[in-house]
Amino acid sequence: MSRWSSLLIATIPAALIAQFATSDWVSERQFWPTQTRYPRSLYVGEAMCAKCHRDIVGTAESTPMAHAAMKAAQSDVLRSHPNFGFTHDDYRYEIRTGLGKSTYTVTNGASRGTATIEWAFGSHGAQSWLYKKDGEFHEARVTYFQDFDRLDFTPNRALQTLHGVDEAMDREVGRAEVYKCFACHTTESGTGESFDESQLVPGVKCEACHGPGQAHRDRMEGNAGQKGTSAVQVNTSSGIFNPKKLTPEQSVDFCGACHGSYWDINLNSVSDGVSKVRFEPYRLEQSKCWNKNDGRLTCIACHDPHKPLDKNASDYDHVCLSCHFTTATADSPTRSLHAKTICLVAKENCTTCHMPKVYVPAAYRSFPDHRIRIAKEGEAFPD
């Protein structure tokens, strides 16, 4: 695929290629995750979905995605660490939490900077924080790392030399960038093209993936609502977006809206080397196993977005074996044998060897590589 893609870039007009990048899906009329164009009045909220889809709401609530961002006062990390910090050169970094307020302080003897944390991003693995100064968002230069249970510099934001408290403390996040943080980590952050953090719903909730639910609620409750132009264009007649109806390639792009689709990463050199392992859609589509017309290897073939991540390796075997099977079974004698190959080494826990965990120094932890392959001991990361 990658050889073809560089060829395509050279020969096909940008507009055609761009069709596949998230920025282009988002500008389509049809709903797509991270779109921010709908007025808040069209959203009905998770509690409404729960009236009719109680089981799904119940399991979804315990996923990290549903808690991908929160107000500082709701952060368990901050609450359970009433006072944590570290020292780097002459600089002391500290966060103190009490009475529902978290204060971030950086001192270097000569001067002192302080801010009240407003937003916490990341519910597992790591958490980082945003706040406003003079109306502009800033990102603290420190992050909490769960594996080490400690505060340290934010990956890629550490400075070689610190020039004063202001610089040591944070980085100003431009508006365009901050809106994107919220579009991926929260729901209803945009209200008809304008950003509104005061009313948004923290976390990736139902309507972040299915679109605003008003028309669907009205139809399911039996009052069809106004006919004609529905404000949200969806792919069902029940008034809500159903990702199940996407083609395999689109389905992976769908998760890629936030996790980094093949074209998002290919067209923007977001990061180099091992950090790319974090973009699962991009990695998956580079596997020899990947086929854009084959629904047996989409994200949702392995993951139920409404449930917490399954950590039991053998639960994934059936997905691999749906293609890498040995003989045609009696009930499907003509089942197409996509993958010629079967494994002579093992018959179970396929992902433990073929989706090796790759350590990402910038994140201080390992991530499973979704580029399925024969991984060799000591090999360089296949970029």
Q: Which residues in the 304-343 window bind ligand HEC by CB under 6 A?
A: 305-306, 308-309, 311, 316-317, 319-324, 338-341, 343
Euclidean distance between CA atoms 280 and 259, whole angstroms: 7
Pick between residue 111 and residue 341 the one whose CB is nearest to ligand HEC: 341
Which residue in the set 106, 201, 215, 355 belongs to the binding site for ligand HEC (CB under 6 A)?
Answer: 355
CB of residue 339 vs ligand HEC: minimum separation in angstroms?
Answer: 3
Nearest to 65 by CA among 250, 306, 367: 306
CB of residue 110 vs ligand HEC: minimum separation in angstroms?
Answer: 29
Euclidean distance between CA atoms 229 and 232, whole angstroms: 8
Contact of 299 with 310, CB cutoff 8 Å: no
Distances (CA, A) of 327 to 291, 320, 333, 336, 349: 21, 14, 9, 11, 20
Contacts of ligand HEC in 274-293 (CB under 6 A): 278, 280-281, 284, 288-289, 291
CB of residue 279 vs ligand HEC: minimum separation in angstroms?
Answer: 8
Q: Which residues touch 270 (CB under 8 Å, ≥6 apart)?
A: 260, 264, 276, 279
Pick between residue 232 and residue 350 the one whose CB is nearest to ligand HEC: 350
Which residue in the set 184, 200, 232, 274 belongs to the binding site for ligand HEC (CB under 6 A)?
Answer: 184
Burial class (CB in 10 A: 0-12, 13-18, 19+), 85: middle
Contact of 173 with 181, CB cutoff 8 Å: yes
What count of other Cβ atoms lies within 10 Å of the Cβ of residue 17? 17
Establish if 351 lies at the interface with ligand HEC (CB under 6 A): yes
Which residue in the set 131, 296, 337, 381 belongs to the binding site for ligand HEC (CB under 6 A)?
Answer: 296
Contacts of ligand HEC in 109-148 (CB under 6 A): 121-128, 139
Contact of 280 with 355, CB cutoff 8 Å: no
CB of residue 183 vs ligand HEC: minimum separation in angstroms?
Answer: 7
Stretch that binds ligand HEC, among 95-103, 157-165, 190-198, 207-215 (CB under 6 A): 207-215
Pick between residue 39 and residue 108 the one whose CB is nearest to ligand HEC: 39
Euclidean distance between CA atoms 62 and 79, whole angstroms: 19
Contacts of ligand HEC in 20-79 (CB under 6 A): 33-34, 44, 46, 48-49, 51-53, 56-57, 60, 64-65, 68
Stretch that binds ligand HEC, among 5-13, 180-188, 267-275, 329-337 (CB under 6 A): 180-188
What count of other Cβ atoms lies within 10 Å of the Cβ of residue 139? 21
Pick between residue 81 and residue 354 the one whose CB is nearest to ligand HEC: 354
Q: Record the tokens describing residue 127, joined without a space.
A: 């958490």
Site size with ligand HEC, rule: CB under 6 A: 105
CB of residue 377 vs ligand HEC: minimum separation in angstroms?
Answer: 9
CB of residue 308 vs ligand HEC: minimum separation in angstroms?
Answer: 6
Distances (CA, A) of 201 to 5, 36, 46, 165, 367: 38, 13, 10, 33, 28
Contacts of ligand HEC in 240-269 (CB under 6 A): 240, 242-244, 252, 254-255, 257-259
Q: Which residues touch 227 (CB under 8 Å, ≥6 apart)?
A: none
